[in-house]
Amino acid sequence: MGPDGKRIIEPNVHLLRVSHDGEWLATVDEWLPPRADLKYLNEGESDWHEEERLRRREVYLKIWRRDEKNGQWALETRIDGPHFLEDISSNGKVLDLVSNPREHGFATIGEDHVVRIWKPKTRLRDGLVVRGGRLRDGLVVWSLYRSIELPNPNKLWLAEVSAGPQHARTSRLAFSADGSVIAAGVSGSSDLDHGLVHLIDASTATIRRSMTEIDATVLCGLGIVGRYLVVVTDCITVWDMVNDDMVYCAAINTDGVDRIERTSIVRLAVNEDDGTFAVSLPQFEKYKDTGIQKASSKISVYSAEQKEPLWSQVVPGITLGLTARKGKGEKGYIALDSVSCIRTVSPTIGAFKLPAPQPIEQIEVQRIEDVTEDTQEDTTSRALQLEDVVLENEYDRPVVTQQDLEEIFHNENAPQAPKDVFSAVMSLFGGMGKAAA
């Protein structure tokens, strides 16, 4: 509590990423002074109060190192105002944060339309490594490695862009699997502003391609799968970066969700192991004669070369976080919904169907008057083989009655272990060689 008896508002951590090896953690903290604290300045318009709040905004990029000995994260570097807006002398908001998939490094994009790459380096003093609490390792400090200034979207389009309703821009970042390419997308500020997606060479910090062919007015997600760029806007666009051509554009459906609000609740995740990507779309269904809406999310998994989804699954609640499962032989994705439930979403495997023997009624029998002795032997052997198949099919099946199952599950003796119950059931159906103990 503060001196005036009001609750002190803590900074909000709205971006968080972990390095590829789990050794480093990057977070973005943001804090704004409460509106009540600025009322004493002026009793005028509320817009003026909001501008003063933005001038006093505090934004920090914090890099944490995993301390395996104590089992916690230790703060290594704090960067104040990573995207400072010089025109209004205020700390700009960090709009997206991504981790390099190959080496230690993070990339951010802010309201200043600048992409910054942050990397660690060992601290030196007079040419010697500065030792810290860890005797084997020197002190590591994170600093700015590259800075790529994107074209100002407000100056790219015609003056008519400012006409019509305006909305805040959104920005997204994505690394390629080898860390050599960074895709940076900036959405439009109105329906006439289409936004842009840029392809950046991470090693030289140069923009190689600005894609005007993709309408990024409403930018929901950005990802790279192999040689393909995936952009989620009003549709799902897959672009071949090698051939510089569009592969396909698939429509999306988010009933009951505003076009602008879609950017905050549509999720995209890519999986480099199997070359797929997943898109989570919110769905709202109204109950009859009530204003209550039932919320759910449809998660669809796509291939970069196929327009139709490979499989889809509807889960309850709104998906707020979506990521691919990592590990050898693992498929699917992990989703975090609006009720703080973590669930694994994976393709279902259909029942394996064994080929059944052909029924006797479907076997055609030809009657021949003159049959040689060899033909009679052939016919007799085939009839015997068919009889063996039918007998094996009909008489070798185990007969399980309801009384047999009740004796296992409703045993009046001491309770059995689940393993013993399972073994007893399997023995009834012939799945195990010996009966349960």
DSSP letters spanning 313-368: EEEES-EEEEEE--STT--SEEEEETTS-EEEE-PPPPPPPPPPPPPGGGS-----
- Name every residue whose Cβ is closer than 8 Å to that of residue 162 and which is 6 or more positions away in sequence: 190
CB 229 within 8 A of CB 238: yes
Q: What is the pLDDT along the chain (437 residues), one digit of tens a residue?
A: 878 788 888 889 999 999 999 999 999 999 988 877 776 666 556 666 777 888 889 999 999 999 988 999 999 999 999 999 887 778 889 999 999 999 999 999 999 999 999 999 876 665 565 555 454 566 788 999 999 999 877 666 544 455 556 678 899 999 999 999 999 999 987 767 778 999 999 999 999 999 989 988 889 999 999 999 999 998 999 999 999 999 999 998 877 677 777 888 899 999 988 899 999 998 887 766 666 678 889 999 999 998 999 999 998 889 999 999 887 667 889 999 988 899 998 876 433 444 555 554 444 444 434 444 444 455 455 544 444 444 444 444 566 676 677 777 766 555 677 777 777 877 777 654 444 33
Task: Calculate the dihedral angle through the C-alpha atoms of 134, 138, 143, 145, rounding to the nearest 10 degrees.
Answer: -130
Domain endpoint, select from 125, 149, 173: 149
CB 269 within 8 A of CB 322: yes
Q: Which pair of structure tokens corresponds to residue 218?
A: 């409403």
Asked if the structure places residue 108 within a domain, the reply is yes
Asked if the structure places residue 167 within a domain, the reply is no
Question: What is the C-alpha separation between 177 and 224, in angstroms, rounded?
Answer: 8
Asked if the structure places residue 200 within a domain, the reply is no
Asked if the structure places residue 159 within a domain, the reply is no
Asked if the structure places residue 340 within a domain, the reply is no
Q: How confident is the model at residue 364, as a pLDDT?
A: 47
Q: How confident is the model at residue 350, as a pLDDT?
A: 39
Question: What is the C-alpha separation between 124 and 416, in angstroms, rounded?
Answer: 66
Question: What is the C-alpha separation between 91 and 58, in angstroms, rounded?
Answer: 6
Q: How confident is the model at residue 90, as a pLDDT?
A: 84
Q: How confident is the model at residue 399, as a pLDDT?
A: 65
H helix runs in 202-244, sequence order: none
Question: What is the C-alpha separation between 416 and 298, in angstroms, rounded?
Answer: 41
Asked if the structure places residue 237 within a domain, the reply is no
User: What domain range is 85 assigned to?
Assistant: 1-149
Q: What does each C-alpha distance from 126 to 77, 123, 321, 350, 421 come to in angstroms? A: 21, 10, 46, 66, 72
pTM for this one? 0.72
Asked if the structure places residue 9 within a domain, the reply is yes
Identify the CA nearest to 91 among candidates 34, 47, 48, 32: 32
Rounded to 5 degrees, φ, ψ at 225 are -120, 105
Would you tell me how many other CB atoms lie within 10 Å of the CB of residue 306? 13
Q: How confident is the model at residue 37, as a pLDDT?
A: 74
Q: Which pair of structure tokens corresponds to residue 205?
A: 């910090």
Number of domains composing the chain: 2
Q: How confident is the model at residue 294, as a pLDDT?
A: 81
Q: How confident is the model at residue 73, as a pLDDT?
A: 95
Q: How confident is the model at residue 55, as a pLDDT?
A: 85
Domain endpoint, select from 149, 170, 195: 149
Q: Which pair of structure tokens corresponds to residue 324?
A: 């691919």
Asked if the structure places residue 209 within a domain, the reply is no
Q: Which pair of structure tokens corresponds to residue 175?
A: 């690394």
Domain endpoint, select from 104, 123, 149: 149
- Name every residue whose Cβ is closer than 8 Å to that of residue 292 and which is 6 or more positions away in sequence: 286
